[in-house]
Structure 1
């Protein structure tokens, strides 16, 4: 019965993630139409892209803290309802001021989503299955981004860009109804083997004693390094999410129709990377019995490879090569995604998982404020995307380096017994 409930939960989170990225990618897809109608130049468009993350980054932490206090079911219900309504309200904007306001509140609604996924996976899955569960639950996000091009592009051309936001916002409201009906905060019976696994990882144990102060975790070099590496991941993601469609139309002169199709390719490849990264993490844990070591191997390899590919994209001028390099970069970027939260799950007691995961996600999503705006100014000043691609690669590479140096296994790192592997 609990296994069935887990699959229901992961399926709902998968669908929710798909809706979240469909909603947030919609602005990037319709940007050529919106910027023309509202008279936005590249620098202003970059600020609009960044405004979403002003609300989003802050509420990553607020949402994680709220999940620890009130439970993820309630928090995600409110979160999805708010972001869906303000996605629809994008249709009512008449200039840059109203667009900025709607995007900030839209971001506040989406902010709690990933931290609450982390909390739910912590509640429902044993440690040697958590990275895989995170991979499956979060893979909906890259699928949402992949289908955003053709879906939103078709809706915008068939109706108008304003109508497309109303339609996709309504889908989120339907998800809230299903979530309230089917979701539960935690299983009714303990997870098999979880108590023994927790006993082998004292730092993440939930033994009934008062939890350590939140600040204790937030000051740890391993948590700060993981947060900065996640910032590097997010810089690639938000550079790509915000500017790749405009890059295709501005640098390669693709029409809206062709851009909508070509933009699917990297996201579709990214789905594979996200799921594969989660399974690779858990496979390494079972093979080595060393949780943090396994997460680090996948994170450093994947984020480093993604950094190289994204930097190289700026050096090519041919469309096929650029799209191929971006697809490989997105594959490796997503392969690292589960490792950041998995490190939190491996080192933080369950009662602090939501808040610490939300803090790490908050730091990461500051990249959403920086990357779109900085890219806009670089493109405006240079007339080219080359420097933006190179900068993105450098930031991601530094994140991988910080994890290699500062993330260390706790004294009593998770050691899985063969019968639990």
Structure 2
């Protein structure tokens, strides 16, 4: 059951809407790291309590990757996306109404439940709209949206919190979600429109869980996400504490590595539509190797400029590894794609739970040195290399399709 032949206008509208919705997703999600500065003062929260507010979101977000992917396969992308946007927009607004530490924990957990279905559902929406030979580039656009959204969220949140307060910021972001809800409801095709009201095959969640390829993709994405979440959490303090930069400057120079990551994402997403089946693993191995080498030289860089250059190179390498995000769209049957993407994103979100805490512990263990943290990330990037060695050419496609019942 493959995507129907939509015209260029429909494809452009769908891709644009999903791109912008991903940015709104990141506005709601990443703005908490900025708002937490004011929230901590208002409610006299300890650093541990502040961390619990953020972790409550990631816990729910990770759990819903698995559940949301399955429901997307069963009911179609549009209905799951609409439900996801409704729930996360409601609880974004409720975040602005929070009255205590406990209420924040509950609200952000429910917010994570809302957002958790969106990654898998957006991938399936691409598969329902684009033919296979165009899905890699389309997914690359959405991957770029996550990087752009992260930058926009931090900059915009800082301005809004300073000018109007954190509560009003969440009210506005929540209202923005409802605007996109209406646009998605009107313009996003349903599964019936994509497949002429045809019924899909029965979804076998157990068969997907038994498929080694799904778990291989999850491990690759886990290793890649360890670097992304680890660096995003600790890179600002690295620039300040190790390299002696002012805090404002760290925000500006942090854009350069992200830009290099976008280049890697663009190259890998273009390549995935051109490469023969089973050859994608060489891009993953190359990107991970570049990242490991660049992180090693970052540890020993003699100047800020050299350290920044090395980090830009590392981000570029990780951007190449992001080709893994396109593989379910290329290989898995449409009726199991959401479940597979959900499993893969579950690995990424677990990295988001693990990396910041373990890196912080490592920095403490090494008496403030970040060398141990960089070695941890180098070890994480070895996971995609090792796992990719077991991705065997034509058997990849066969393994992906073996989950249908």
TM-score range, shorter chain: 0.7 to 0.9
Find the counterpart in structure 2 of residue 85 from structure 1.
Answer: 90
2:227 is equivalent to residue 236 of structure 1? yes
2:335 is equivalent to residue 344 of structure 1? no
Contact 2:332 / 2:397 at 8 angstroms: preserved in 1?
no
Q: Give the match's secondary structure for 1:336.
A: helix
User: What displacement does 1:248 show?
Assistant: 4.3
Contact 1:243 / 1:372 at 8 angstroms: preserved in 2?
yes
In 2, Cα distance between equivalents of 1:130 and 1:253: 43
Contact 2:63 / 2:116 at 8 angstroms: preserved in 1?
yes
Contact 1:50 / 1:372 at 8 angstroms: preserved in 2?
no
In 2, Cα distance between equivalents of 1:252 and 1:47: 29
5 Å-filtered alignment, 1:263-274, equals: 263-274=254-265
In 2, Cα distance between equivalents of 1:28 and 1:88: 16
Find the counterpart in structure 1 of residue 212 from structure 2.
Answer: 221
Contact 1:146 / 1:268 at 8 angstroms: preserved in 2?
no
2:7 is equivalent to residue 2 of structure 1? yes
In 2, Cα distance between equivalents of 1:93 and 1:190: 43
Contact 2:331 / 2:396 at 8 angstroms: preserved in 1?
no
Find the counterpart in structure 2 of residue 397 from structure 1.
Answer: 382
Distance 1:86 1:236, change over 3 A: farther
Contact 1:153 / 1:260 at 8 angstroms: preserved in 2?
no
Q: 1:107-158 CA deviation, whole Å, 9 max, x = no partner?
A: 2222112211221122222222211111113321111112223222222222
2:263 is equivalent to residue 292 of structure 1? no
Over the residues paired in the alignment, what is the CA RMSD in angstroms? 3.1
Distance 1:14 1:106, change over 3 A: same
In 2, Cα distance between equivalents of 1:76 and 1:323: 38
The more displaced of 391-400 and 236-245 is 236-245
In 2, Cα distance between equivalents of 1:59 and 1:67: 11
5 Å-filtered alignment, 1:119-130, equals: 119-130=124-135
Distance 1:397 1:66, change over 3 A: same
Q: 1:35-57 CA deviation, whole Å, 9 max, x = no partner?
A: 55555565554444433220111
2:105 is equivalent to residue 100 of structure 1? yes
Q: Which runs of 5+ in 1 are unaligned?
A: 192-206, 415-421
Q: Which runs of 5+ in 2 are unaligned?
A: 1-5, 400-405
Choose which of 160, 171, 177 in structure 1 pairs with 2:182.
177
Please report the TM-score for the alignment, with normalisation by the length of structure 1. Answer: 0.81
User: What displacement does 1:185 show?
Assistant: 2.7
5 Å-filtered alignment, 1:269-284, equals: 269-283=260-274
2:339 is equivalent to residue 355 of structure 1? yes
User: What displacement does 1:179 show?
Assistant: 0.9
User: What displacement does 1:28 show?
Assistant: 3.0
User: What displacement does 1:389 show?
Assistant: 2.7
Contact 1:303 / 1:397 at 8 angstroms: preserved in 2?
yes
User: What displacement does 1:85 show?
Assistant: 3.0
In 2, Cα distance between equivalents of 1:226 and 1:60: 14
Contact 1:46 / 1:373 at 8 angstroms: preserved in 2?
no
In 2, Cα distance between equivalents of 1:399 and 1:389: 17
User: What displacement does 1:189 show?
Assistant: 6.7
Q: Give the match's secondary structure for 1:383.
A: coil
User: What displacement does 1:377 show?
Assistant: 3.4
Choose which of 27, 31, 35 in structure 2 pairs with 1:22.
27
Contact 1:248 / 1:259 at 8 angstroms: preserved in 2?
yes
Q: Give the match's secondary structure for 1:60.
A: helix
Distance 1:45 1:189, change over 3 A: closer
**Aligned pairs, how many?**
392
In 2, Cα distance between equivalents of 1:70 and 1:298: 34
Find the counterpart in structure 1 of residue 394 from structure 2.
Answer: 409
User: What displacement does 1:18 show?
Assistant: 1.4
Q: 1:391-411 CA deviation, whole Å, 9 max, x = no partner?
A: 122112222211223455328
Q: 1:7-48 CA deviation, whole Å, 9 max, x = no partner?
A: 110001110111222322223344555455555565554444
Find the counterpart in structure 1 of residue 349 from structure 2.
Answer: 365
Find the counterpart in structure 2 of residue 73 from structure 1.
Answer: 78
Find the counterpart in structure 2 of residue 330 from structure 1.
Answer: 315
2:358 is equivalent to residue 374 of structure 1? yes
